[in-house]
Chain A
Amino acid sequence: MTSPNITSPKPAAPAAKFASRFDRFQVVLLGLSALAVCFALIYGGYLLTVMQMAMIYAIFCVGLNFFMGYTGQASFGQNSFACIGGYGSAILCVQYGWEPALALIGAMVVAGFFALIIGYPTLRLRGHYLAMATFSLGLITYDISIQWTSVTQGYMGYAGIPSLGIGNWTVESERGKLVVLAVLLAFAFWLSLRMRDSRFGRGLRAISGSENGAAALGVRVPRFKLIAFVVAALYASAAGSLYAYTFNFISPEAFGPAMSILTFTMLFVGGVGTIVGPIIGAVVTSLLQEVVRGSGHYQDIAYAVGLLATLIYAPKGLSALGGLFRRKKEEA
């Protein structure tokens, strides 16, 4: 790695930029994920639920990737914003009779606002301090969602949430829900690409490369971190709302600290900071969980060992494996 071989310079081709963003391996992985969705649509059954979940988590992770991947900051508390999204949508729809689509946006506004006022003091922290502060944020939200029974109905959970829809058109069938979720994920992904490949996105990625270097070039580091945090929170909130509309029921457990750790894992498995990583990670992890489910505690052991192995042998996640092979080939 330290002695790169640049004897055969490639001709510069700015036009090839889009193609160079995805390597072939990543395209294959993305294709396989789409295939998994199609498979679920054809065969139905429990696989539908698994893929619905994967799509929701993927939306969450696409947002998380902005803060953790591109900006290089650790947040273990994004579940807070999913919690706001989920309960916000549920309450707005059930108690105030809002349209689900409108409630989704309303909850996003609330979550974004909270992210702004929480992020402002919190993001001054670094490293472990930031990790722990955000983690405790997630724990506090979780505890509040349990304790504040008059609003959240506590442990019992919140039932009777309508399905997603606009006006008279609602999506009630499981297949329809998966299609809508997949389309929304594609939209969210497309938005993330637009943000990534711009002055804003480059600024974020510069921060993760070197905060000092970015600041020396005039990037307002604290402000950019805060915006990335808010973007991640908006995605998380949308994911939380979609969870509520998809399963028509939410409970504190759905948005507990376990969610943070699970999504963290997904991001790492897929490849933190890569373009397709969040989606690949969410799909692969969701499917793997189902494969080992039923084996009881061995499931969690397999999960933990798998995670540890990923962290050692594929620290940049699955979507970077393509690059790894290629580099090996070049070295040979």
Chain B
Amino acid sequence: MALLKAKGLTKRFGGLAANNEIDLEVPEGSLFAVIGPNGAGKTTFFNMVSGFLSSSAGSIELDGRDVTHVPQHEIAGMGLVRTFQLVQLFNGMSVAENVEVGCHLATKGGVAASLFRPKWFRKQEVEVRERAMELLDFVGLSAQADIEAELLPYGQQRLLELARALAAKPKLLLLDEPAAGLNTQETESLAHIIQKINAQGTTVLLIEHDVALVTRIAHRIAVLDFGKKIAEGTPEEIKAHPEVIAAYLGVEEIPDA
């Protein structure tokens, strides 16, 4: 069954179609990748799916429910959690606290609960702390738990963002270029972690620039170029696809801004 279903998804900026009638189905439990040259519209697609950007046309279905015009926090509440191409850490909070924010959806309680601190609330706070430490352990950051997040080296910031997203117990995890700016070794351990997350039952949809990485770990790949889906298939099919080869060889690489 498809966990995420995009039908004819289109986004126009002025006269320019950043995404043009994209159809995509992400099966539950899969590790799905969207690749494409820079400016192909990958991030635009992500932003629409996660509710950060309204679509010009088309529809998005999550877990069988239409979420085309649902606000982002509600989409997150339905189990779709995303990370960002430019890491969006919470500066001024410690590494552990960053992950604790990730538990937001999985917990409850507002001002009143924080003031009166009933028993369930205190228990929840302890659980949140434990869960944060568990997740930091999972990505290998438990030693840095009390450091301010902004002091982490870039590679570890990426891992922290991943741990934070996991804290929200996502059904579908959207990763926007998680390997951007990482060295080979860091990319390797990240790939390993992503595969582990997927193996534990979380559906993963990732955007990537690094084709080698994607063809190695993804079950299925969709290719975008100039806002259009030009191909979809297994890694082997994609590697042999003539249009994909043309898109990648024909377009000169533009360095990330």
Contacts and interface: CB of A to CB of B under 8 A. Distances in A.
A201 B107 CA distance: 13
A94 B124 CA distance: 46
A332 interface: no
B76 A210 contact: no
Interface in B66-109: 72-73, 76-77, 81-84, 88-93, 96-97, 100-105, 107-109
- Most chain A beta carbons < 10 A, residue from B107, B110, B167: B110
Contacts of B145: 12, 14
B6 to A, nearest CB: 18
Interface residues of A, number: 39
Contacts of A257: none
B70 to A, nearest CB: 12
Nearest to B82: A216
Interface stretch (A53-61, A115-123, A219-227): A219-227
B2 interface: no
B114 interface: yes
B114 A200 contact: yes
A13 B94 CA distance: 13
B147 A199 contact: no
A194 interface: yes
B199 interface: no
A208 B102 CA distance: 15
A212 interface: yes
Contacts of A198: 109, 113-114, 121, 125
A216 B50 contact: yes
A13 B143 CA distance: 10
A296 interface: no
Contacts of A166: none
B102 A217 contact: yes
A200 B116 CA distance: 13
Contacts, number: 139
B255 interface: no
A77 to B, nearest CB: 22
B143 A10 contact: yes
A127 interface: no
B257 interface: no
B12 interface: no
Interface in A94-132: none
Contacts of A167: none
Interface in A1-60: 4, 6, 9-14, 16-17, 20
B52 interface: yes
Contacts of A273: 92
Interface of A: 4, 6, 9-14, 16-17, 20, 191, 194-195, 197-203, 205-206, 208-210, 212-221, 227, 231, 273
Task: Rank and list the top 3 A-B pairs by shortest CB-CB distance, nearest first.
Answer: A209-B90, A213-B88, A198-B114
19 contacts: A4-B151, A6-B144, A11-B143, A12-B146, A14-B130, A195-B115, A198-B109, A199-B103, A199-B107, A199-B110, A200-B113, A202-B93, A208-B90, A213-B84, A215-B72, A217-B105, A219-B104, A220-B73, A273-B92
